[in-house]
Structures are given as structure tokens and as C-alpha cells.
Structure 1
Amino acid sequence: MPKSNLQSHLIFSRSERGGILFLTALIVVLLTTYYCTDFSAESVLDVSSSEIVKQQRIIDSLYQVELEARKPKLYPFNPNFITDYKAYTLGMPTEAFDRLKAFRAQGKWINNTEDFRKVTGVSDQWIDSISPYFKFPAWVTRPKPNYTFSKIVNTRRSYDEKVDLNIATAEELQQVSGIGAVLSERIIAYRDGLGGFTDDVQLYEVYGLSSEVVQKTKQLFTVKSPKSVQKWNVNTASASDLSTIPGVSFDLAKEIWEFVRLREGITTLSALEKIEGITASKLKRIQLYLFVE
């Protein structure tokens, strides 16, 4: 290669020489930094500082608030009717719920918090936190009058002398001729299922209770503390609404709904007697839950 060509490759312009010098200096600085810096040094952040601890407490408290907000809200309920899902949401131990189911399967009832504790065996901590939401029927929580009965067949009593049907015990009901252990328990079970009787006429809905025995029962008992019930306007209620009435099947509810719709409304509840299956006696029972407007 001619000498002149070799020299041309080795000669740099002024700007090129400046660039080479800058790159060389940068490489030296980076190498010096790499070898002189201890990258294993611990973070300068002090997690134990008071400010960090304070912020962590705030985060923890907000987390607890969120957890509480996500918990299902508790409302008063009758512990006799706890379902699998209800037991789960209440944090009730499985074995305790099984004992409650077995107890209820015998046709027996929980009447107070202490009964619930004995039957289920739940812990004191659980019962103390949940029992304030227990709601028992009024006739359970009211003190019961101490009546002495003898087997009575046809004795009539005045209203004041009669026993409130909503607090009557099985033993008291058995003093009526024609009511034994089975029927007395069936009356109480039906009463509890309703949440309490609203009217004496509801005795006719109890399976196996004849009209004659109902009449004898009404001579000694009557409803003095009627349960308030939701009343439906028969002219605007849906079939689903009507089917919630005790003694009214969904099929009968549909017949009532269609009967009212075809007539564009009715003016008296007695018109419902025209429907097959609704007798005067049955109408007396279902009209406790109906009105016309």
C-alpha cells in the first residue's frame, strides 16, 4: 500500500479526536465507578422508622374496615330455622349445626339462648357474638300463665278466662277432648310455622283437626296476641304474591289471579267463593291476608 494512503487512515480530524478523547474519559469514569462502589450495601430505607410504622398501621386499619364491610350483615332471626348456608355465614361449626338439625328433626324447638347452647354445644365466644340476633316468637318470650286444667268437653269460658292460643303449651291443648300428644304437637308446629296465629279460624288448617275438635278448642282458647300479617290487594297482587298465603297453593293462586283479571277487579272478597276449591270456611282463612281496593 502506498505510504500516502496509510497516512490518510491514521490522521483524524479535530472533531474526531475530541470524540475519541470523550469516549476514553467516559470509559475510565465508568470503570472507576464499578470498581469503587459497594453494590452489596443495604438499602438506606429504615422500615422500622416511626413514619413507616405509622403508615403500616393506617393500611392495616383500612384493611380491617374493608374486611368488616364484606361480612354479611346480620338481622334478627329465629335460630330454629338456621339453614346450611346460614350456619356457614354465621361461622357455626359443622358438628354444632348437625346437632341442631337432629334436635329439630325430632319435632322439638329451641325456646331461648340457653337451650341453643345446650343443644348445639357452640362456644361461649360464638354464642355471645350471635345470640343478640336471636329472635323468638312472642309467646315464647312472654311468661306463660299458670292454668290448672282438667279434661273438659263442653265447658265454655269467657274471653278473659280463655288461654291465649299463641302461648298455649302442648299439655294445655291436650285438655281438650279429642286432642292428644300428636295433635297438640301438630298445632304448635303449625303455629310456629306461621310465626303465630292471627285468628282462631286458622285452626281449621291444622291437618287431622276436625271441625268438632276445633269448636271445642275455641271454647277454651282464643288468639289474644295476633300476629300481624302482610295483606295483599287482591286486585293488584300477582299469582306469586297470592301463593305466599298459608293454605293457598300456586295453582289456586293462579286461579284467583285469572278470576280477578277476567273481571277487571272485584269489589268484595266474597266473590272469590265462585272459584272451585274456595269454600266459605276457606275464604275466612285466606281473607286474613287480603283486602279489596
Structure 2
Amino acid sequence: MKIWSHFRFDKKERSGIFFLLLLILIVQGIYLASGFLFPVKEKEVKEEELNAFRARIDSFRHRERKHDTIYPFNPNYLSDHKAYMLGMNVAEIDRLYAYRQTGGFVRSASEFAEVTGIPDSLLRKIAPYFRFPDFAKKQRSKRPDRSGRAAAQSRAIQDLNRATARDLRSVSGVGEKLSGRIVKYRDLLGGFFLDEQLYEVYGLDSVTVQRIMEQFRVVESPAVEKLDINSASRKDLASLVYLSWEEAGKIIVYRSAVDKIKSIDELRKIEDFPDEKIDRIKLYLTTQ
């Protein structure tokens, strides 16, 4: 059987193939030419529409600026949302609420800072907007004793660093999970230096912390070997609970720039370094 026999066409078949190819070429030519002969016009934006759009953007910006405005307020009645917007963290807000629940009333900016523990930088920012009622200035402060001496008189205070999970469960509101978290966090720190470090335990609200401190306090500070900030590696610094890997890196960069860190307070000079952590890391670092 010859292959070429399949490609033999008579005159009519050849004409049909020719006209089919011609038709395909014509259609292709029309399609390509249409892009040049009839270009797609971009939609023209009228000047009025553009101005209206710009006006809407300006209105949104104005709303944002208005939202950021701080109005005078009584700090004793801060809501969670407003306190957060002002820059306070959860622990600081909880301390204020715990103090108010005991019947205390803040009567000055300095007392507000003492109760909440907010950093000086934040206090300078929001203190000008504090407004206290006249009677608060006249009455003597009724702030409760936060040292725990009254509780100590009624019952023996136990050492928080020696308390077992079972001991802690004797406090109302502290169950198996919370007592376990307290012990675990204490071990992670190497021991509590301050009673207030209880506020850092996940899941502990301020009311429960107050109950714990009625029975347990830091009687004996832990024997923790402090890290020398001038010789510690980035890994060593990041091993501290209060320092992230990024923050440890910033300390190393600053140390290299100044040759030697003479005081832990120098860390406040580091850009974007959290001031509120400095008082805590002082407990675990030394400049030697």
C-alpha cells in the first residue's frame, strides 16, 4: 500500500482546501487589525468625580485624627478599651481595677503611677489629661495598705518561693491548673523577686493575685546568679523570660557601640526598647 495515495486530491478538493486556508488568513488578519483600527479607550475620569474622591479621603483622615484626640478624663473610671488605647498593658489595667475594688481612689498623677506601675514616659504623655474631682483633693487618701501587713497580723505569711502547688490551692480561686502555672513560672524565673511578678502568670486575674498575697509573699529572695550584660551572649540574654531574641540582639549592638554598658538604665537609650521591662531585667542582669 502506497502512502502517497492518501494525499492525492482532485481539482475540486484542492480548490476547497485553498479557499479554507484563505478564509482562515482573512479572519486572522481582521482580528489583528481591529486592535489598531479600534483601540480600547480608557475611561475618562471627570474632574468633579476626582475632587469628590479626594474629599472622601480627606474626611477619612480627619476622622482618624479626631479618633486619636485625648480628652480630659478621671483615671479612676478608665474602661479597658480606653486604657488600652492610651498605651497601658493588661497588668497595669488589672492593678488599677484591683485597687479600685478595695475601695481605693487615685487622687494624683503620682499616685496613679504608683498604683498601676506605668512607665514614666507614658505618665508624662497622659497625666496632663487627668481630671480629679474637688473632693479628692480635700479628703485624705483612703488607699489600703498594699504591703500586706494587715493580712500578716491575722495569719502567718508563707514564703511564695517555697510554696508547693498544693499550698497555693488553699487560696480561693486557685485550682490545679493555676497553681501549676505559678510553680512553673517561678521555676522559669529561678524564683520570684517581687510579689508583683504574680501578675505575669497567665490566667491569674488581679483579684486572685490579691488573695494569694494575703497568704504568700516573697520572704526570701532567690539565689539567682545574675548575667553580666557586658559579656553575656545573645543566646544567654534571650534565655531570660523578659527578653526576646530581637531585644537581646539590640543589647548586643548597643554594647558593641559603647564598648561597655555601665548601667542597666542605659538600655533606655536603645531605640524602641521597652522601658517597662528594664526594672524587671535589672533583677537578673549586672554590669560588674
TM-score range, shorter chain: 0.3 to 0.5
What TM-score do the two structures reach when normalised by structure 1?
A: 0.39
Looking at both structures, which has the greater relative contact order when contacts are Cα pairs under 8 Å and sequence separation is at least 6? Answer: 2
What TM-score do the two structures reach when normalised by structure 2?
A: 0.40
User: Which of the two has higher C-alpha Rg?
Assistant: 1
